Amino acid sequence: MFIIENYSLAVAFCFITMLCWGSWTNTQKLASQKWNFQLFYWDYSIGVVLISVVLALTMGSFGEHGRGFLEDMSLADTNAITSAFIGGVIFNIANILLVIAIDITGMAVAFPVGIGLALVIGVIDNYLKDPSADPFLIFTGVVLIVLAILLNAIAYKRLPNQQSGSSKGIIIALIAGISMGFFYGFVSDAMATNLITPEVGKLTPYSAVVIFALGIVLSNFIFNTINMYKPLSGEAVSYTDYIQKGTPKLHLIGILGGAIWGVGMAFNIIASEVASPAVSYGLGQGATMIAAFWGVVIWKEFKEAPKGTNKLLNLMFLLFIVGLGLVVYSKL
């Protein structure tokens, strides 16, 4: 299987993760113009599974090191499979809440608040399990990211005609962030610590991502079904709506969104052995900055904001960039 053996390439893979995790929600924005986000989410989850299997059968099955995907699955023990699966379930709860928050507040707010908080929790959680990075640098970076989150929330409060839904959307984003901060540790715990000669019973990154993706899809029958029939935002929809209202284009947009996110997840997990889980997760969740950029620049979510709001947003981006830079440098 393909593995990473130097820190520079690991950081490059984490940057790809950041771009993927920060960009997939553009597909939700596109689809939501004609398609309820609950129905979009089914296609998204299918896309995550499809890309995880494709990567497992290609990058995860060829090369000089490690074990191929099929062999790895045959040797995996119940504890490793369960841990990766639970990671998928936890992520799914958090991501559904994030999608709801995006529907209420937009990308430029839901991502920095929800994923920014997940970044903070995830970095701390993963650092405690693998304290190989410089604590001063990594946690200074985390503090700057927290300040960026606060600035984003302040900027959002300045938008006209948003006050009635802002509190609900931000609260949902915060709950999503708390939940999402813990999923990565379960996937990391399921993986082998040495990918060149993986220990028997543990999963390689490719196998772990496949099990993780199955956790998303199977738990979707519980969590997204509730979201469909008892939505926190928008109108209720049914499985009949998914069958009758969905067009090939809408389904492909959702699957593309899931595939984009899935590539980011796989690349991040592949990089985590060299970069450390804390650094790889923290850098990947720099997706908050990418999503905020899309929301501000492309979707114009702050076009009606009063004068002075752009200064807050620019400072937010600066703090995110510096904070992420410190997270990366903490491992050098």
Higher pLDDT, 74 or 299: 74
Tell whether the model's pLDDT for residue 79 goes beyond 70: yes
Percent of the chain at pLDDT > 70 equals: 97
Instruction: Tell me the sheet residues that pair with 203.
Output: 191
Q: Look at residue 122 in the predicted model and tell me its pLDDT.
A: 86
- Alpha-carbon distance of 172 to 64, in angstroms, equals 45
- The sign of the torsion formed by the CA atoms of 144, 266, 182, 218 equals positive
| Listed range (99-103, 105-109, 140-144, 178-182) with the worst mean pLDDT | 105-109
Which segment, 101-115, 224-238, 318-332, is predicted with the most confidence on average? 224-238
Q: State pTM to two decimals.
A: 0.86
∠ CA 115-116-118 to the nearest 5 degrees? 60
Render pLDDT for 271-285 as a digit per residue (tens, 0 to 9): 988 988 888 888 887
Q: Look at residue 142 in the predicted model and tell me its pLDDT.
A: 85
Tell whether the model's pLDDT for residue 269 goes beyond 50: yes
- Alpha-carbon distance of 16 to 22, in angstroms, equals 10
Q: Look at residue 163 in the predicted model and tell me its pLDDT.
A: 47
Higher pLDDT, 164 or 85: 85
Tell whether the model's pLDDT for residue 113 goes beyond 60: yes
Average pLDDT of span 128-135: 88
- pLDDT band for 162, please (50, 70, 90 cuts): low
Q: Nearest 5°: phi and psi at 31? A: -70, -30
- Alpha-carbon distance of 186 to 126, in angstroms, equals 10
- pLDDT band for 34, please (50, 70, 90 cuts): confident
- pLDDT band for 166, please (50, 70, 90 cuts): low
Is 136 buried (19+), middle (13-18) or exposed (0-12) by CB count in 10 A? exposed
Domain ranges of the chain: 22-329
DSSP letters for 153-172: HHHHHTSTT-HHHHHHHHHH
